[in-house]
Structure 1
Amino acid sequence: MEITMYDTLLQLPLFQGLCKNDFTNIIGKVKLHFRKYNADDIIVEQGAPCTQLIFLLNGEITSQATDNQHSYSLFETFGSPFVIEPYSLFGMQTNYTATYKARTNINIVTIDKLFVLNELNNYEIFRLNYLNILSNRAQVAYEKLWNSHIGNTEEKILNFLVLRSMKPEGKKILKIKMEDLASLIDETRINVSKVLNDLQEQGLVQLSRKAISIPALEKLTEKNK
């Protein structure tokens, strides 16, 4: 394995803080599975069992989380280094909450759950990194829930997006009918349409048939602070 690969792996959130000697020992004990994907290839599908940690080493991937009950989908983009849903490996529901596809040609490495439990869990830094990821996600989700239906129409739209996004910045695409969005945030369709058109004039969203594209969610968040 080349030095550059070591460096890339050590940048991943779960391995940050590990020295190269410890990481060399890990590689000697843990089976790392490397794989390449071409653009548009599916990595995992929503609802599939999560039985491994998947690390994005380079390139970009997109996620698609679909709520069939309310007929909408949210698309997000992630760059490397990135770990796909480490929180789905344990708990009552150990299934992926979104479908992940390669946006560009990518390289990933996977580690089976068995090796996470039997080998990686022996390293205190790995355990702390994992606990921090899980705790941060729980704390952020708790904070989001407090604001889910608070504020004016624009703030409700923003809260709807933030609550369902895995990261609070970057490009998002929400595929949804205007009347469905209005119903989900307890607003009228006229109010939702007016606010979205105002945001489009400001360059913060782009509207198309049954889709709302947000070039940079953080800009919309900053506007509402």
Structure 2
Amino acid sequence: MTITMYDTLLQLPLFQGLGKNDITSILDKVKIHFSRRKAGDIVLRKGQACRDLVFLLNGSLMSETSDKDNMYLFYEEIDAPSLLEPYSLFGWRTEYASNYITSTVCDFVSIEKFYLLSELSNYEIIRLNYLNILSNRIQNLSDRLWTNMAGSVEDRIVDFILLHSIIPTGEKRLKIKMDDLAKLLSSTRIRISRALNEMQDKHWITLHRGEIRVPDFVHLKEHREARRLEQSIKSET
């Protein structure tokens, strides 16, 4: 294993704070599987049993998530290094919630759940990192439960995208029929269409047939936070 691979492993959220000697010790005790997948491969499927910690070491991929009624699909860009759905390894439903499709050639590392419990859990830093990953997700989801979906049609569209975004950066894509989006946001098709075109004119999104693309999630989020601040100031005056 090269120094570059060590450095990449140390960048992963689960291993941050460890030294190279710790990584060397872990590699001596833990069975690690390395794999390379070409662009366009489905590496994990929704509903597939989650039995391993899966790390994206190099490359980028897209997560594909659908709602329970299959009304829409939501895509998120994920860049390396990243840990894929560590929260699905435990709980009453240990299955992946999304499909993961490689956008480029990708390198992966996977570690069986057994080794997480028998070896990795012996390291306090890894235990804390894992708890922080799970806690951050729980807090994030809790905040979303209290998000007010009121406001203009434009505000509601942006909030809908923000609420479905797990990765705080990168491109987002929403595949949905205009009529379905109107129903979900308690609006009309005409108002949704008008708001989307205005958002495209502002370069927040790009519109494609049956699809809304957000090229820069951070840019969209900053605009929404500025809008919330503006609304808060108005309500206080």
Task: Specify if TM > 0.5.
Answer: yes
The residue number in structure 2 matching 1:178 is 178
- What is the distance in 1 between the residues matched to 2:133 and 2:150? 27
Asked if 1:187 is matched to 2:164, the reply is no
- What is the distance in 2 between the residues matched to 1:221 and 1:192? 19
One-letter amino acid matched to 1:161: I
- What is the distance in 2 between the residues matched to 1:150 and 1:81? 36
The residue number in structure 2 matching 1:84 is 84
Cα shift at 1:87:
0.8
Q: Is the 8 A contact 1:87 1:134 kept in 2?
A: yes
Identity among equivalent pairs (%): 48
Q: Is the 8 A contact 1:55 1:108 kept in 2?
A: yes
Alignment of 1:21-170 (within 5 A): 21-147=21-147, 149-170=149-170
Deviations 1:199-221 (A, max 9, x none): 01111111122111111122112
Cα shift at 1:127:
0.4
TM-score (norm 1): 0.96
Runs of 5+ consecutive residues of structure 2 not aligned to the other structure: 227-237
The residue number in structure 1 matching 2:199 is 199
- What is the distance in 1 between the residues matched to 2:151 and 2:49? 37
- What is the distance in 2 between the residues matched to 1:106 and 1:176? 28
- What is the aligned residue count? 225
Cα shift at 1:109:
0.4
- Which range is displaced more, 178-187 or 146-155? 146-155
Cα shift at 1:68:
4.8
- Which range is displaced more, 65-74 or 37-46? 65-74
Deviations 1:120-152 (A, max 9, x none): 111100000000011011111111221152322
Deviations 1:41-69 (A, max 9, x none): 11111111111011011111111101250
Quote the RMSD (CA, aligned, Å): 1.2
Cα shift at 1:155:
1.7
Cα shift at 1:169:
2.4
One-letter amino acid matched to 1:116: L
- What is the distance in 1 between the residues matched to 2:15 and 2:147? 33
TM-score (norm 2): 0.92
Deviations 1:169-213 (A, max 9, x none): 221110000111111122222221111010011111111221111
- Which range is displaced more, 150-159 or 119-128? 150-159
Runs of 5+ consecutive residues of structure 1 not aligned to the other structure: none
